[in-house]
Structure 1
């Protein structure tokens, strides 16, 4: 088991001495516990063996002289963020470099929980290495290989695939388009028997209503809602008329049907994973080439960036991604997002990274801005990346909050995130399982990743 590495900080977050300790006190901080929207001023957090033991006022710090003291310098502490729709890289011939880089890109951006949504066998040992302390990274929740029109050939095979993924140790199932109703029902029924959650895209031959009533726990990309609102479903089934994610039909949506869909979502207990930044970047009208040299692309290989450009360019060449088509579509998605949220449908923080122009960790901050622009409050945004993901996996109180007994996973930032979301982009320090990573360590790891992909 790896020992807990901490830094003694005197001021300005400059590390002077590295020491090993199982008991540490992060002092002189303001704490946003996320149990409510109040900030506890001038506090200290006592951590022992990776757990939060106590939150105490600074006046009581003198009672813990045996602890390693980390001076937080007046920083604000919150439980960190989540990326609950990620595509974790696959280890190629045993080479785990891209996986380990992605884990550090998440940590460097204050992302401490990741739900993988396209599974691969190489993800399971990655999770084990992180859990054991062999390598650094956020806590992982893994979906298995996806269920789709190409991976599923019959109801019987689909049911066996569910059993196999549960037995392998995956936490979740991911559904992609192309499933027939009988196949979907086999997946649904078997998953319920084995108590493994599932979610994903909504297959056109299944539809939103059957997906919700069949037990989808999360609707990724808010998939299926636009399609369910189109009066002439034959147009939805025609990709030339519908466009990507039914973009070209959004003006035909019958909004009188939306209240019933919202009610059904609430009744079935489904969650939404909006991935607003995926649509803003992949299907937005900003040209693909303009993303090539934006700052965070230096952490991705030239080949990966080119692949993303190649993925978007055909839509541009076909005249699909014009401002006339895209603007009303994105506005509709914002309306749908806020309608579901304001009705009480729980939301997960998701950005679909690494997908087209969404670099791990960095893309979460794009998602946060888009959620804010759509009208969600700062506190509710932070909930989507902390309290809500813990609730999703029935682990409320174990993480995603700063409280006695919770895992010592939290982030220090300069300003109060309830007032300034931009502060989330520059963590002063990240604490993961009680291990303290200061700004120097974060920048050191980012520099290594950049050097690996030098243009």
Structure 2
């Protein structure tokens, strides 16, 4: 008998052979049982029927019987360098060693939950050198990031993450500077004007950078996609606003309802806009998005009552200050009527189905640490909720594996196959049978090396 997978057995050999594991390859459907996976030089060297792998001197061989292996997950919408509550300073304002320790801890939490890659959607510009340092480390998740988000004129609640770009003629120099500082893509935000948006997308194209972000309030969905915005963050009213009478004022009408009447008013405005949309026009728009290769990170917890996503287990994942703030804030959702909740879930389920039918691909994202989302577990919650909203377990898992690989243009991640990076998540139960089994983390491998203590299987 070979030793079972255990963190204490993280020896360094010339190769690692995990024997008799069930493979969830993700580039094809289903499970391939009884396989030996040979890992060498950080990659999957071979996937063989159990018993056909031959150990060499110095190999580490472990028994994977009863385990399911799938690609490591990617959180495609997170903020690793954001404050997790209103009273906390931004990491950029902390002493450098403390900021490094804080962000490193957040990334390590991701690994404990099987998340081997993250896409950061906004950090202060002065944190870019630290981000570059951390993503060069082989013991932390892969990281791609936008750096500061590009917004229009400042408002009282501007957070310091923004660069306020008000003149189109300044876009080219700014984007070139940020590209030189190592960003992987450009993120635009709500208050960018149509003229600045056009200049930013052109400058991003000139620098070989994808454009992501919020569809600006003053830009139509169709125009944003036509300009080359193929990574869209959040996925509800901002996508179908073109198909409503409100048009570009749809999102501001939601924000206005929220400020005046709280969450119930916000959700009723969601419901009214969705019920009043031109469904035929929406489906035509979604087809254009699919043909353009658009990826959407829907973040459903922003479009439904937060108490559906956050309970005692989730609160325990947060820092003490964030936990206290969230525990109080969740009370705002207690009085949302059951019939409104049911309608919102039904609307979002239909909306997601129409997007997927049109070829729009989804990316899983937690938006941590905003809205009480902890690093790691909240991505699992997002996958579970995708299934509740109509995706199959395989489709949900694809949003954190294959689809991120496609969005990032990488052939070496997101799949369990020969030649791929050995960024692997080992589970003690099959997530294709029950998506909740994504919590049953037994072990995690990053670049062919076992990494620290895994989250406990539930």
TM-score normalized with structure 2 length: 0.84
Whether 2:290 is the aligned partner of 1:278: answer no
Work out which of the residue numbers 423, 429, 432 in structure 2 matches 1:415: 429
Decide whether the 8 Å contact of 1:414 with 1:428 is kept in 2: yes
Cα separation, partners in 2 of 1:187 and 1:15, compared to 1, 3 Å: closer
In structure 1, the gaps of 5 or more residues are: 1-7, 447-455
Q: Does 1:340 find its partner at 2:355? A: yes
- Give the conservation status (yes or no) of the 8 Å contact 2:17–2:39: yes
Are 2:28 and 1:36 equivalent residues in the alignment?
yes
Root-mean-square deviation (CA, aligned residues, Å) is 2.8
The match for 1:114 is 118
Q: Is the 8 A contact 1:338 1:375 kept in 2?
A: yes
Partner residue, 2:88: none
The within-5 A match list for 1:55-74 is 55-64=47-56, 66-74=58-66
Which of 212, 232, 243 does residue 225 from structure 2 map onto? 212
Does the Cα contact within 8 Å between 2:427 and 2:438 map onto a contact in 1?
yes
* CA spacing shift, 1:280–1:59, aligned 2, 3 Å: same
Q: Is the 8 A contact 2:444 2:450 kept in 1?
A: yes
Match of 1:424 in 2: 438
CA offset digits 1:23-80 (Å, max 9, x no partner): 2111121112222014222111111121111111222223545411122133111112
Q: Retained in 2: the 8 A contact 1:279–1:330? A: no
When structure 1 is superposed on structure 2, of 266-275 and 64-73 the one drifting more is: 64-73
Does structure 1 retain, via aligned residues, the 8 Å contact 2:69–2:426?
A: yes
Q: Does 1:176 align with 2:189?
A: yes
SS at match of 1:217: strand
Deviation of 1:126 (Å) = 3.6
Once the two structures are overlaid, the 10-residue window that deviates more, 381-390 or 217-226, is 217-226
Of 189, 198, 209 in structure 1, the residue corresponding to residue 202 of structure 2 is 189
Query: Displacement, 1:411?
Result: 0.8
* Residue in 1 that maps onto 2:86: none
**Which residue of the partner structure matches residue 449 of structure 2?**
435
- Aligned-partner Cα distance in 1 for 2:328–2:129: 30
Task: Check conservation: 1:50, 1:434, Cα contact below 8 A.
Answer: yes
Relative to 1, partners in 2 of residues 1:198 and 1:312: Cα closer, same or farther, differing over 3 Å? Answer: farther
Q: What residue in structure 1 maps to residue 270 of structure 2?
A: 247
Q: Which residue number in structure 2 is paired with residue 93 of structure 1?
A: 95
CA distance in 1, matches of 2:287, 2:228: 15
Once residues 167 and 26 of structure 2 are traced to their aligned partners in structure 1, the CA distance between those partners, rounded to angstroms, is: 45
More divergent stretch after superposition (147-156 vs 168-177): 147-156
In the aligned structure 2, how far is the partner of 1:312 from the partner of 1:207? 33
Distance 1:271 1:103, change over 3 A: same
Offset at residue 137 of structure 1 (A): 2.3
How far 1:363 moved relative to its partner? 0.9
- Cα separation, 2, equivalents of 1:123 and 1:30: 40
Contact 1:277 1:363 in 2 (8 A): no
Equivalent residue, structure 2, for 1:452: none
Q: Would the alpha carbon gap of residues 158 and 173 (structure 1) be closer, same or farther in structure 2, given more than 3 Å must change? A: same
Distance, in Å, in 2 between the alignment partners of 1:304 and 1:366 is 18
CA distance in 2, matches of 1:233, 1:14: 55
| Deviation of the 1:191 alpha carbon | 0.8
Report what 2:312 is aligned to: 294
**Aligned equivalent of 2:323:** 305
On the 8 A contact 1:247/1:326 being kept in 2, the answer is no
Q: Aligned partners of 1:310, 1:187: CA distance in 2, in Å? A: 40
Select between 58-67 and 415-424 the one with higher mean Cα deviation.
Answer: 58-67
* Maintained 8 Å contact 1:24/1:68: yes
